[in-house]
Amino acid sequence: MDGSQHPLEKSSIISDKVDTTTCYMCACRCGIKVHLLDGKIRYIEGNPNHPVNKGVLCAKGSAGIMQHYSPARLSKPLRRIGERGAGEFEEIEWDEALSIATAWLSSIRETDPKRLAFFTGRDQSQALTSWWAQQFGTPNYAAHGGFCSVNMATGGVYTFGSAFWEFSEPDWDNTKYFLMLGVAEDHDSNPIKMGLSKLKNRGAKFVSVNPIQTGYSAIADEWIGITPGTDGLFVMSLMHELLRAGKIDVDYLIRYTNAPYLVIQNPGEKDHGLFARDSKDQELCWDRARNKAVPFTDATLKPAMKGSFELPDGVKVRPVFELLAERYLDEQYSPDLVASQTGIKPETIRRIAAEIAEVAFENEITINQPWTDWRGQKHEKMIGRPVAMHAMRGISAHSNGFHTCRAIHLLQILLGSIDCPGGLRYKAPYPKGFNSLPKPTGHPDQIKPNTPLPGPHLGFVQGPEDLLLDNNNGPMRIDKAFSWDAPMASHGMMHTIITNAAKGDPYKIDLLFMYMANMAWNSSMNTAETISMLTAKDESSGDYKIPKIIYSDAFYSETVPYADLILPDTTYLERWDCISMLDRPISDAEGAADGIRHPVVQPDRDVRPFQDVLIDIGSRLGLPGLVKEDGSSRFPEGYKDYITNHERMPGVGSLAGFRGENGKEKGKGKPNKNQLDSYIENGCFWYDKIPKEARYFRHANASYLDYATKMGFIKEATPIIFNLYSEPQQKFKLSAQGHGRYIPPDQHKKRIEKYFDPLPIWYEPFDQAAIDTREYPLHALTQRPAAMYHSWGSQNAWLRQIHGTNRLYIPEELAKANNIIDEDWVFVSSRKGRIKVRVKLMKGVNSKTIWTWNGIGKRTGAWNLDDNAKEYTEGFLLNHLIDDLLPTNEHNYNYSNSDPITGQAAWFDVRVKIEKVPSKEQNEDTKSQPQFNRVKLPPTMPNRPNIIKYTVNKDDIK
């Protein structure tokens, strides 16, 4: 006999049920098909019909089974019985847990609602959580955007009414030149891989600007290993070159941007640098033909783009464009002068500028699709400048990230490549003008006991008058968002709450309530001190400085031991969820889309979906909107009920598809009781193809603006004019110069005046400017491993075989100079701390940069791993080196280590030095440092098997 006689079942039964739902192993929100056999998960694959991933699935998504059956899963509500941080808990019933939470929350709400700080992490239910916090009445709510990528969101929205990633994507099918800046292998995982593949197969050029040559950068036609924090200089130098050569789309600038707007020239006065407006508050431009100022909306306008003019009232004005050209034509942005700081040769910068210009202006593409702009002018064709860009964390996580992000958008706008064929395309419900978006809520007169906030917490300020300030001109919010510390902190500043709450700065809170954010570990800067603040006690009372902490998570993460009450969550396969147009939907450039999750398996333990729990607590508290007049719950079936029946405005709810009583309406329509069934039938998503004539130039496209208004994405069909010049920036600058009703306290004046600028500027990252760079010559970064990003929990048996430990990657020449070889132990020090780690040598890295994978190191005990797991013994975090505060300034004050405009955490600013551990000590104490006490496990944790033989099979053969 030989093997070929082996009976082979080629058509085995794979499943008795295939459910679609939405993945949650990272932030991409791919559609998945879950094959179930006898209620067990047999196989998870990508859903071919889904707009995000079109059938593909990454390593994380494919490892969902191991996340679901993880031994790190929590099993039951827990109440702390030992000291905080020890991990000593007792199990309690849900009823008791919910009663405790309700009692704590209700006494706060009855007295001073702002003493609740409610912050959520990487959850995707912010449409619910923010609304809940609004009903509660605390101003202290945000999700994790402040420590993630708010610079990208804010820089984008204030410039072109959208942002990279979630609200735009490169025109993968048409672009011929793709410039990717600072993508640390992060967002948007699968769509970027799919897109790069298309580009390369079409013969487009892909340039990656990144200090590290891994992942996407590995397949780039050209890798530019830029020095961290200098991308702004590089981009401004490209603008310098394009302007110098006249390689800009003047027609596009006149049509769609504020380039022709007239800016008042009145130095030292309150209107200096603001736009000249007529009596109807319309922005004025100088008409070349009529030689007078007329409104931008004038249909026959032929605007001047340069020159100094005088308005009838004697006010002197100049067009935005001239100010812009003047700034970036300055020699300081010439390739020769930015070369040494950026680490990019001048001839490379010149060549990249020339290549971009060549593709944009000599390789334009045309789609024969007539369309009409907002002025009513008809266009026979859609003409594209096929240069597209994408940028993310490497730009965002610097204290100069807001301006750098704006600079990248300015570059695209000068080329005329926003939402044109081949450029960067919008995704619904964006674009939205920044001035059409809500302003933040939480002014002193809006915070009252037992009273909801009258609007959303987070928003876009238009000037100092929109800041959330207390009666002493100080912050209203515990995280100091929307205060003079961080005026445009549109996503809040979650990374500051533990420090601020422990210090009672700006005030004390009673309860910190968090969901799905590992703040006692890899989601905080300065981890060791952050942990100590969670356990710090008031000397006189002996109480914890942060008196109560409630935390919800599905897993035993490092943060769980620091909470007093744990509300155990389910996994993504056991819950309802909506990927909502009110939050961050799943649209692509061609269509508007949203989606749902639904339970494909039932929990086998005593856990509940956090969203159901939040609605339950809200009903127990009697929050308006959550209870009916008789006090009974408005959503007795929990989150599912809320998704279906909640209306944000009449006809606008969590989901845009299958609305109306018959389920045939889209965008707006009455709630439909069968809506979720329709979603499930449709593969758990809804997709509405945007009409052909509305798929490009959407900021100014009459049919798109009309479509978006009908769908409820925007309130009225007004164009989104691109803000090359950002007037709100100038308003802040003026306030710092003493103009207007709202003036920063003296200690903030210089900073506001310096860093707010209506045209993007570049400055040295703060942490770097604060130290002697000769002592700390290196930059330290993290990259997100494609197989683990956003699935940091090392409990995943499959993923930890790929990234079970991390090394510090250092440039070969640096290693040589320090006599370091592969696997040596080194000390890495910053002004904040020192860590001991193992190295690997690398060629493809900027010569002044060292880096590691993010979030791999774990604290012993957390995640229910064996004590000798390498995540504990060798893994490490860079977080210990990154201070959460900037050094004390001349006002004896410490700003958060963040962007001064948006409050974005400046993770990537840190400067370090390395030093080889002496040879004789190389083999002693071979553990990474620092190490922390082992945390104990809660009473009931799943068995941690010594071997896994996972199989789901018809005959259960093994």
Partner 1 sequence: MTALPQNTKTKLGLVIDLDICVGCHACSVNCKEWNTSGYHAPMTDTAPYGADPTGVWFNRVHAYEIQRPAGESQTVYFPKSCLHCEDAPCVTVCPTGASYKREEDGIVLVNEDLCIGCKLCSWACPYGAREYDSSEGVMKKCTLCIDKIYNENLPEESRQPACVSTCPANARHFGDLGDPDSDVSKMVKSRGGYDLMPEQNTKPVNKYLPPRTRQMGPNSITSKAKLEDASPDGGFLGWLDKVLSD
Residue 853: which residues within 8 A CB-CB, separation 6 or more? 782, 783, 784, 785, 788, 803, 806
Task: Return the range that interacts with partner 1 (CB under 8 A); candidates 135-143, 196-204, 758-766, 849-857.
Answer: 196-204
- Least distance (Å) from partner 1 to the CB of residue 216? 6
Q: Give yes or no for residue 331 binding partner 1 (CB under 8 A).
A: no
Nearest to partner 1 of 548, 790 (CB atom): 790
Q: In the stretch 578-617, what mask flags binding to partner 1 with x, by CB under 8 A?
A: ----------------------------------------
Q: Give yes or no for residue 2 binding partner 1 (CB under 8 A).
A: yes
- The C-alpha angle with vertex 188 and arms to 845 and 426, in degrees rounded to 5, equals 120
Q: Give yes or no for residue 784 binding partner 1 (CB under 8 A).
A: no
- Give the pair of three-digit tokens for residue 67: 């996340």
Task: Return the range that interacts with partner 1 (CB under 8 A); candidates 190-198, 393-401, 669-677, 693-701.
Answer: 190-198
941 CB-contact burial (10 Å; exposed 0-12 / middle 13-18 / buried 19+):
middle
- Least distance (Å) from partner 1 to the CB of residue 185? 9
Of 413, 617, 799, 828, which one interacts with partner 1 (CB under 8 A)? 799
- Least distance (Å) from partner 1 to the CB of residue 155? 26
Q: Give yes or no for residue 222 binding partner 1 (CB under 8 A).
A: yes
Of 344, 357, 531, 862, which one interacts with partner 1 (CB under 8 A)? 357
Nearest to partner 1 of 26, 512 (CB atom): 26
Element (H, E) at 851: strand 849-853
- Give the pair of three-digit tokens for residue 769: 């400017």
Q: Does a cis peptide bond (omega within 30 degrees of 0) precede residue 429? A: yes
> What does the alpha-carbon distance between residue 816 and residue 617 come to, in Å, rounded to a whole number?
59
- Least distance (Å) from partner 1 to the CB of residue 286? 12
Of 88, 100, 102, 244, which one interacts with partner 1 (CB under 8 A)? 244
Q: Which of 555, 561, 514 is nearest to 79 (CA)?
A: 561
Q: Give yes or no for residue 630 binding partner 1 (CB under 8 A).
A: no
Rg, Å, the chain Cα set: 28
- Least distance (Å) from partner 1 to the CB of residue 53? 7
Residue 279: which residues within 8 A CB-CB, separation 6 or more? none
Strand, helix or coil at 750?
helix
> What does the alpha-carbon distance between residue 563 and residue 87 come to, in Å, rounded to a whole number?
9
Q: Give yes or no for residue 334 binding partner 1 (CB under 8 A).
A: no
> What does the alpha-carbon distance between residue 175 and residue 171 come to, in Å, rounded to a whole number?
6
DSSP 886: P
> What does the alpha-carbon distance between residue 592 and residue 585 come to, in Å, rounded to a whole number?
8
Q: In the stretch 358-387, what mask flags binding to partner 1 with x, by CB under 8 A?
A: xx---x------------------------
Of 17, 292, 306, 936, which one interacts with partner 1 (CB under 8 A)? 306
Nearest to partner 1 of 251, 915 (CB atom): 251
> What does the alpha-carbon distance between residue 788 and residue 810 come to, in Å, rounded to a whole number?
21
Characterise 612 by phi-psi region: left (phi > 0), alpha (psi -120 to 50), beta (else). alpha
Q: What is the dihedral of CA 748, 749, 754, 756, to 10 degrees?
A: 80
Task: Return the range that interacts with partner 1 (CB under 8 A); candidates 3-11, 337-345, 681-689, 893-901.
Answer: 3-11
- Least distance (Å) from partner 1 to the CB of residue 231? 20
Q: In the stretch 701-730, what mask flags binding to partner 1 with x, by CB under 8 A?
A: ------------------------------
Nearest to partner 1 of 188, 479 (CB atom): 188
Beta carbons of 440 and 468 less than 8 angstroms apart: yes
The CA-atom distances, in angstroms, between 65 and each of 69, 222, 571 are 6, 38, 10
Beta carbons of 305 and 318 less than 8 angstroms apart: no
Site for partner 1 in 48-77 (CB under 8 A): 48, 53, 55-63, 65, 71
- Least distance (Å) from partner 1 to the CB of residue 300? 15
Nearest to partner 1 of 250, 649 (CB atom): 250
Task: Return the range that interacts with partner 1 (CB under 8 A); candidates 217-225, 480-488, 665-673, 739-747.
Answer: 217-225
- Least distance (Å) from partner 1 to the CB of residue 370? 24
DSSP 73: B
Of 86, 337, 354, 771, which one interacts with partner 1 (CB under 8 A)? 354
> What does the alpha-carbon distance between residue 932 and residue 951 come to, in Å, rounded to a whole number?
37
Beta carbons of 51 and 586 less than 8 angstroms apart: yes
- Least distance (Å) from partner 1 to the CB of residue 136? 39
Q: Give yes or no for residue 864 binding partner 1 (CB under 8 A).
A: yes
Task: Return the range that interacts with partner 1 (CB under 8 A); candidates 206-214, 275-283, 752-760, 908-916.
Answer: 206-214
Of 107, 197, 308, 889, which one interacts with partner 1 (CB under 8 A)? 197
> What does the alpha-carbon distance between residue 394 and residue 181 come to, in Å, rounded to a whole number?
7
Q: Where are the alpha helices (DSSP H) in 81-163?
A: 94-111, 126-136, 150-160
Q: Give yes or no for residue 26 binding partner 1 (CB under 8 A).
A: no
Of 246, 268, 314, 631, which one interacts with partner 1 (CB under 8 A)? 246
Residue for token digits 């533990």?
Answer: 498
Element (H, E) at 313: none
> What does the alpha-carbon distance between residue 556 and residue 285 come to, in Å, rounded to a whole number?
60
Q: Give yes or no for residue 4 binding partner 1 (CB under 8 A).
A: yes
Element (H, E) at 343: none
Site for partner 1 in 929-948 (CB under 8 A): 944-948
Task: Return the range that interacts with partner 1 (CB under 8 A); candidates 199-207, 560-568, 713-721, 933-941.
Answer: 199-207
- Least distance (Å) from partner 1 to the CB of residue 936? 17
Of 46, 137, 228, 273, which one interacts with partner 1 (CB under 8 A)? 46
Residue 225: which residues within 8 A CB-CB, separation 6 or more? 210, 211, 212, 213, 343, 844, 845, 846, 847, 849
> What does the alpha-carbon distance between residue 719 and residue 431 come to, in Å, rounded to a whole number?
9
Q: Give yes or no for residue 865 binding partner 1 (CB under 8 A).
A: yes
Site for partner 1 in 733-752 (CB under 8 A): none
- Least distance (Å) from partner 1 to the CB of residue 61? 8
Q: Which of 167, 159, 154 is nearest to 459 (CA)?
A: 154
Q: Give yes or no for residue 179 binding partner 1 (CB under 8 A).
A: no
Site for partner 1 in 800-839 (CB under 8 A): 800-802, 804
Q: In the stretch 871-890, what mask flags binding to partner 1 with x, by CB under 8 A?
A: --x-----------------
